[in-house]
Amino acid sequence: RPLIGVLALQGDVREHLAALRDQGAGAVAVRRPEELAAVDGLVLPGGESTTIAKLARRFGLLDPLRAAVRAGLPVYGSCAGMILLADRLLDAPQDQETIGGLDVTVRRNAFGRQADSFESEIDLAGLGGGSLHAVFIRAPWVEEAGDEVVVLGRIVGGAADGRIVAVRQGNLVATSFHPELTGDRRVHALFVDIVRRRVAARPAQQAGVAAG
């Protein structure tokens, strides 16, 4: 059973823990570098990305997080988590730090103040097709995605029609919306599957050491 951490510095941690357990994964809160080192995958929850980045720096987690992403740790970022995974930001404070790793340009608070919180249908063409009912809270969107990035989902309808709100690049997944707040578990299922495959591909000895 893969063990997946949820970065628990700020944001909606409990909902992600529950969603991951729904998918048969072990799930633990991560606040310290030792805890990060023990997990097979990590979720970056929604919250306030500037606050999460500052706390990560203060808790000595920012550089270990960057190293973990570089080493191929599967990471799923929702909303603020998407911002933290982005290589480039728009409408962010000059000094906002990120973890990076995802070759995208992400615009913070992209849907405007009038749309602080709203729900919309998503076309999940890149995730098995069909649509998903998504909850957005002061959400970012992906303004530009690099060649290696697979678009999983786009907004359907309204002023933001066609905007990219779900992406994957290798072991990294990011969504603008909050699937942990709805019963739809397809995004968490995809992520747990990515983690399972990586654990299965790991040499037995190394897996044993990690488990011990």
DSSP single-letter state for residue 148? T
Q: Is 97 a catalytic residue?
A: no
> Closer CB to ligand GLN, residue 9 or residue 40?
9
Q: Which of 15, 97, 178, 188 is catalytic?
A: 178
> Closer CB to ligand GLN, residue 31 or residue 138?
138
- Report the helix count and the strand count for the chain, using DSSP H and E: 7, 12
**Shortest distance in whole angstroms from residue 64 CB to ligand GLN:** 21
Any known ligand binding at 108?
yes
Binding residue for ligand GLN, selected from 66, 138, 185, 198, defined by CB under 6 A: 138
- Rounded-to-integer distance, Cα 136 and Cα 176, Å: 7
Residues 6+ apart with CB under 8 A from 187: 76, 127, 132, 166, 173, 175, 179
Looking at the DSSP assignment, which residues form a beta bridge with residue 75? Answer: 42, 172
Binders of ligand GLN among residues 44 to 73 (CB under 6 A) are 46-49
- Rounded-to-integer distance, Cα 203 and Cα 10, Å: 34
Stretch that binds ligand GLN, among 31-39, 75-83, 156-164, 189-197 (CB under 6 A): 75-83
Stretch that binds ligand GLN, among 22-30, 36-44, 62-70, 77-85 (CB under 6 A): 77-85
CA atoms within 13 A on the CB side of 96: 23
Q: Is 79 a catalytic residue?
A: yes
Q: How many residues bind ligand GLN (CB under 6 A)?
A: 11
Does 86 help bind ligand GLN (rule: CB under 6 A)? no
Q: Which of 15, 16, 180, 188 is catalytic?
A: 180
Q: Which of 15, 79, 97, 188 is catalytic?
A: 79
Does 166 help bind ligand GLN (rule: CB under 6 A)? no
Does 202 help bind ligand GLN (rule: CB under 6 A)? no
* 127-141 burial code (b ≥16 CB/10 A, e <16): beeeebebbbbbbbb
- Tokens representing 51 are 């606050």
Residues 6+ apart with CB under 8 A from 147: 103
Three-state SS at 175? strand
Binding residue for ligand GLN, selected from 8, 104, 132, 137, defined by CB under 6 A: 137
Annotated binding site for L-glutamine: 47-49, 108, 137-138
Q: Which residues sit at the interface with ligand GLN, rule CB under 6 A? A: 46-49, 79-80, 83, 108-109, 137-138
Query: Mind telling me the catalytic residues?
Result: 79, 178, 180
